[in-house]
Protein backbone atom coordinates (compact mmCIF):
# COMPACT_ATOMS: atom_id res chain seq x y z
CA UNK A 1 0.00 0.00 0.00
CA UNK A 2 1.41 3.37 -0.98
CA UNK A 3 1.33 6.46 1.22
CA UNK A 4 -1.57 8.09 -0.67
CA UNK A 5 -3.65 4.89 -0.41
CA UNK A 6 -2.99 4.65 3.32
CA UNK A 7 -3.82 8.31 3.76
CA UNK A 8 -7.15 7.90 1.97
CA UNK A 9 -8.04 4.72 3.87
CA UNK A 10 -7.36 6.44 7.19
CA UNK A 11 -9.26 9.56 6.12
CA UNK A 12 -12.24 7.54 4.90
CA UNK A 13 -12.35 5.45 8.07
CA UNK A 14 -12.09 8.39 10.47
CA UNK A 15 -14.67 10.34 8.45
CA UNK A 16 -17.10 7.43 8.54
CA UNK A 17 -16.56 7.09 12.30
CA UNK A 18 -17.20 10.84 12.71
CA UNK A 19 -20.50 10.61 10.81
CA UNK A 20 -21.65 7.53 12.76
CA UNK A 21 -20.78 9.06 16.14
CA UNK A 22 -22.50 12.35 15.26
CA UNK A 23 -25.71 10.66 14.12
CA UNK A 24 -25.64 8.38 17.18
CA UNK A 25 -25.20 11.38 19.49
CA UNK A 26 -28.13 13.15 17.80
CA UNK A 27 -30.27 10.03 18.25
CA UNK A 28 -29.31 9.84 21.94
CA UNK A 29 -30.04 13.56 22.40
CA UNK A 30 -33.55 13.18 21.01
CA UNK A 31 -34.18 10.27 23.39
CA UNK A 32 -32.63 12.10 26.40
CA UNK A 33 -30.01 9.40 26.91
CA UNK A 34 -26.33 9.50 27.88
CA UNK A 35 -24.43 11.54 25.27
CA UNK A 36 -21.18 10.99 23.42
CA UNK A 37 -19.02 14.01 24.18
CA UNK A 38 -15.28 13.37 24.46
CA UNK A 39 -15.02 10.86 21.59
CA UNK A 40 -16.60 13.42 19.24
CA UNK A 41 -13.80 15.88 19.88
CA UNK A 42 -11.06 13.24 19.61
CA UNK A 43 -12.41 11.89 16.32
CA UNK A 44 -12.67 15.42 14.94
CA UNK A 45 -9.09 16.14 16.01
CA UNK A 46 -7.86 12.87 14.47
CA UNK A 47 -9.12 13.90 11.04
CA UNK A 48 -12.90 13.66 11.00
CA UNK A 49 -13.62 17.36 11.50
CA UNK A 50 -14.84 18.05 7.97
CA UNK A 51 -17.20 15.06 7.90
CA UNK A 52 -18.46 15.85 11.40
CA UNK A 53 -19.03 19.52 10.55
CA UNK A 54 -21.03 18.69 7.42
CA UNK A 55 -23.03 16.02 9.26
CA UNK A 56 -23.85 18.43 12.09
CA UNK A 57 -25.10 20.99 9.59
CA UNK A 58 -27.17 18.44 7.67
CA UNK A 59 -28.87 16.88 10.72
CA UNK A 60 -28.91 20.19 12.65
CA UNK A 61 -27.06 18.84 15.65
CA UNK A 62 -25.00 21.04 18.00
CA UNK A 63 -25.24 23.96 15.59
CA UNK A 64 -25.81 26.36 18.50
CA UNK A 65 -22.69 25.19 20.36
CA UNK A 66 -19.95 27.70 19.63
CA UNK A 67 -17.19 25.28 20.57
CA UNK A 68 -18.27 22.91 17.81
CA UNK A 69 -19.17 25.46 15.14
CA UNK A 70 -15.85 27.28 15.61
CA UNK A 71 -13.74 24.38 16.83
CA UNK A 72 -14.36 22.07 13.90
CA UNK A 73 -13.27 24.63 11.27
CA UNK A 74 -10.16 25.29 13.40
CA UNK A 75 -9.40 21.56 13.31
CA UNK A 76 -9.89 21.60 9.53
CA UNK A 77 -7.37 24.44 9.25
CA UNK A 78 -4.95 22.51 11.46
CA UNK A 79 -5.32 19.47 9.21
CA UNK A 80 -4.63 21.59 6.12
CA UNK A 81 -1.58 23.03 7.88
CA UNK A 82 -0.37 19.54 8.74
CA UNK A 83 -0.61 18.58 5.06
CA UNK A 84 1.47 21.61 4.13
CA UNK A 85 4.06 20.76 6.79
CA UNK A 86 4.26 17.21 5.45
CA UNK A 87 4.77 18.61 1.99
CA UNK A 88 7.51 20.96 3.16
CA UNK A 89 9.24 18.37 5.37
CA UNK A 90 9.32 15.51 2.88
CA UNK A 91 9.42 17.65 -0.27
CA UNK A 92 6.33 15.92 -1.60
CA UNK A 93 3.76 17.79 -3.59
CA UNK A 94 0.43 17.83 -1.74
CA UNK A 95 -1.16 16.75 -5.02
CA UNK A 96 0.84 13.50 -4.80
CA UNK A 97 -0.36 12.86 -1.26
CA UNK A 98 -3.97 13.62 -2.16
CA UNK A 99 -4.25 12.02 -5.57
CA UNK A 100 -1.47 9.45 -5.80
CA UNK A 101 0.99 9.04 -8.64
- Kindly tell me the burial class for residue 87, based on how many C-beta atoms sit within 10 Å of its own C-beta (0-12, 13-18, 19 or more): middle
* CA–CA dist 64, 48 (Å, integer): 20
Q: What is the pTM of this model?
A: 0.79
Output the tens digit of pLDDT for each of the chain's 101 residues.
Answer: 666 677 778 889 999 999 999 999 999 988 989 888 788 889 999 999 999 999 999 998 887 888 888 889 999 999 888 878 877 787 766 665 566 65
Alpha carbons 98 and 82: distance in angstroms, whole number: 13
| CA dihedral of residues 6, 10, 12, 14 (deg, nearest 10) | 180
Amino acid sequence: MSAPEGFWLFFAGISLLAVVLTVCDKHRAVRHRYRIRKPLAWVAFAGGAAAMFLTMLIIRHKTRHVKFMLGLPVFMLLHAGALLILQWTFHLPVILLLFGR
